Structure 1
Amino acid sequence: MITRRMVIMLIVAGVIFGGIIAFLIGRGIMIRHFIASMGQPPQTVSTTVVGMEEWDPTLKAVGTLKAEKGTDIAPQLAGIVAEIPFQSDSDVKAGDLLLRLADADDVANLNALKASAELSRLTYERNKELVRTRAVSQAALDTATANLKSAQAQVAAQQALVNKKQIRAPFDGHVGIRLVDLGQYLTPGQKVTTLQALDPIYVDFSLAQQNVRLAAVGQAVTITTDAYPGMTFAGKVVALDPKLDPQTRNVAVRAELSNPERKLLPGMFASVAIAVGDTEKRLTLPQTAITYNPYGETIFLIVKGQPDAEGKTPLTAQQKFVKTGETRGDQVAIVEGLKEGDTVVTSGQLKLKNGTPVLINNEVKLPNSPAPTPQDQ
């Protein structure tokens, strides 16, 4: 049974609880108003001034190095290795003997056939003289002629067999590691070593369909490779395929590079740049200044805000869309959206939104080189 005293206690508790809630709500509103009156705290960023720089228009591609002449040395016939005159990792001349298979039986047969051919030649010469005096018939001379040609053909066939057991360098080049040993049995096509002509050397790469009109034989090419950081190698375009690959819509291109020190080796991966126009002036920014999004590229521009009560003009960030062009090293060309002299944020963009006050600190210089090179730290 609820008494009068209990009702009074419930009313008092409700009044106290409601007062506490009202106090907390009022305090929260006061805090929000206080924070709002203070404004956004400034964010520290680094900046750069947009400037014009000389820019060489280029096409970029990735390619693979290929020897001007290159082949894997392998026998046509099976046999036992009898001689390996070359040394691993050495230069050879065209015609140098690289490997000889055991050929004693073949050479003996060749000598026998040569003796038979010589006898056929003597018989032919004798009948040729006798037919003039009618000592032998024309039929005998014809038979001697046929026998001579048959014997010579057998000698040629046996000589070809002997030659197949002697592998010679097809061109001047550099041989690799020897992969076989004396006395080893080789099967047809088994690799003995590799032979590569390294100077000059080719780089093969592809260009997209929309860039085909920009490529031509004779254009200057420079390549870089991870094998030699900071080094560039110059060459020129020597050939373009007369058709595009129907699967990729790319055209194959080949450039030739001088390689006297043989630093470049077949099979290496290379980054290729083709000069496709005259030097021109372009607005440039460090690539760190650009924020790449699915809906476009943006930057944060530094602009002057409204003067405060003390008459000071704060700096604020303003997000802006830009259109970017080619890249080179740490830099990117700006096609639209900026003008020379604009100040752009290069780091600290994640803390910014439109209207955020900023403090500029450029004590640390961010990379902005057209041709950066790795630095050992």
Structure 2
Amino acid sequence: MTRNHPFPMPALALLLALAGCAKNDEAAVRAPPPPTPVVAADVATREWSDVIEAIGTAQANESITLTAKITETVRKINFIDGQKVDAGDVLVELTSSQQAAQLKDALALSKDADRQYQRQQDLVKQGTVSKSLFDTAQATRDSNAAKVDTIRAQLSDRVIVAPFSGVLGLRRVSVGTLVTPGTAITTLDDVHLVKLDFAVPETELASLKPGLAIRAATPAYPNRRFEGKIDSLDSRVDPVTRAITVRALIANPDGELRAGMLLNVDVLSRDRQALSVPELALVPIGQKQYVYKIENGDVARQIEVKVGTRRAGEVEIVEGLAAGDRVVVEGTVSLRDGAKVAVRSGGTGAAAQTARN
């Protein structure tokens, strides 16, 4: 006799199938999530400096406007616009024919007076002339020599020379121009060394001292950085702006920097060795900063860190990490403390480059 099964065969098959699905779902719930792919970077010790930012104006090391000392017409011009000149080069000659004639006459008189003096000196030794006649001849000789010096000085005022080596500006006179004392003829700038003056808040005064390195940049040369050093600090703080003027010197052998140019200045102070990480590694939570430190090669631990100063793409780590630690640079959004990670190569932007380094 055949025994009847408590469930029909189709119902039994359905129950067995449901039981299998329940076991699979339970196994899926118990299975750990796959590791989160991330990009990591090593915590490294690097050269570090605090940066004080400012805006400064370039000035020539030496700069003058050449003018005439007397009223006279221009006879000759010996330079062109923008010419480089050496100290002592004759730039402009003013009309001097009258003084040249006077000098010729004065030289003749001086020469004759000197001969008379020599003759009287010999006769005094022989006792044939009185001492008073000799004194008169000596006074005449000295007077004529002084006249020669006076006329030569007048002639020198009619010759304008470069007082130092540098670059000339635009010519502002022509041959025949009547110039007077104070008439601008051209400018002369010594730009082989540039003075850069900039204002720094008085709160940074303790960080400033002569010899500190500076970097300067200008939109005129977007790919250039000009390096120099602080030369001196003003003796006073401006009571209105509460800032102190700082002067730095920048070598300018190619003459690329010009007087009056505006430059962005970075003052580098407190040179030191510091731990740093890519700025993208930081995870701000409230007023605190955290990073995900990779432990045992595949576990991300959320670590609180104390940060210092920042620079392009990097941040100084004061506390919380040590050299050689690895931190997550990309993928922090998907992480939680204790999560498994899979460090991969690649990434984007500066973070990936830092990670590869």
Deviation at 1:189, TM superposition (A): 1.4
Q: Deviations over 1:212-261 (max 9, x none)?
A: 22222222221111111131011222223344344444333222222122
| Residue 180, structure 1, aligned to residue 187, structure 2 | no
Find the counterpart in structure 2 of residue 119 from structure 1: 112
SS at match of 1:57: strand
Find the counterpart in structure 2 of residue 86 from structure 1: 79
1:65 to 9, 34, 58: 58
| Structure 2 CA distance for partners of 1:216 and 1:237, relative to 1, 3 Å | same
Q: Is 2:275–2:316's contact at 8 Å kept on the other side of the alignment?
A: no
Find the counterpart in structure 2 of residue 278 from structure 1: 272
Q: Is 2:232–2:248's contact at 8 Å kept on the other side of the alignment?
A: yes
Structure 2 unmatched ranges of 5 or more: 1-38, 291-305, 320-325, 331-346, 353-357
1:222 to 186, 209, 215: 215
What are the within-5 Å matches in structure 2 for residues 104-253 of structure 1?
A: 104-253=97-246
SS at match of 1:238: strand
Q: Is 2:65–2:184's contact at 8 Å kept on the other side of the alignment?
A: yes
What are the within-5 Å matches in structure 2 for residues 217-366 of structure 1?
A: 217-276=210-269, 277-281=271-275, 285=279, 328-329=311-312
CA–CA distance in structure 2, aligned partners of residues 146 and 324 of structure 1: 85
Q: Is 2:110–2:141's contact at 8 Å kept on the other side of the alignment?
A: yes
Give the partner amino acid of 1:270: L
After superposition, the CA RMSD in angstroms is 4.0
Give the partner amino acid of 2:114: R
Q: Deviations over 1:146-200 (max 9, x none)?
A: 2222222222121111111100111111112212111111122111111112212
CA–CA distance in structure 1, aligned partners of residues 158 and 309 of structure 2: 57
More strand by share: 2
Q: Is 1:173–1:198's contact at 8 Å kept on the other side of the alignment?
A: yes
SS at match of 1:69: strand
Deviation at 1:207, TM superposition (A): 2.6
| Alignment: residue pair count | 283
| Structure 2 CA distance for partners of 1:330 and 1:180, relative to 1, 3 Å | farther
In percent, how many aligned pairs have the same letter?
Answer: 29
Give the partner amino acid of 1:280: A
Give the partner amino acid of 1:67: A
Q: Is 1:96–1:169's contact at 8 Å kept on the other side of the alignment?
A: yes
CA–CA distance in structure 1, aligned partners of residues 316 and 70 of structure 2: 60
| Structure 2 CA distance for partners of 1:299 and 1:165, relative to 1, 3 Å | farther
| Structure 2 CA distance for partners of 1:368 and 1:112, relative to 1, 3 Å | farther
Q: Deviations over 1:28-49 (max 9, x none)?
A: xxxxxxxxxxxxxxxxxxxx99
Normalised TM-score (structure 2): 0.66
CA–CA distance in structure 2, aligned partners of residues 225 and 256 of structure 1: 16
| Structure 2 CA distance for partners of 1:368 and 1:248, relative to 1, 3 Å | farther
Q: Deviations over 1:11-33 (max 9, x none)?
A: xxxxxxxxxxxxxxxxxxxxxxx
SS at match of 1:80: strand
SS at match of 1:124: helix
1:96 to 72, 75, 89: 89
Q: Is 2:58–2:261's contact at 8 Å kept on the other side of the alignment?
A: yes
What are the within-5 Å matches in structure 2 for residues 47-62 of structure 1?
A: 55-62=48-55
CA–CA distance in structure 2, aligned partners of residues 57 and 300 of structure 1: 20
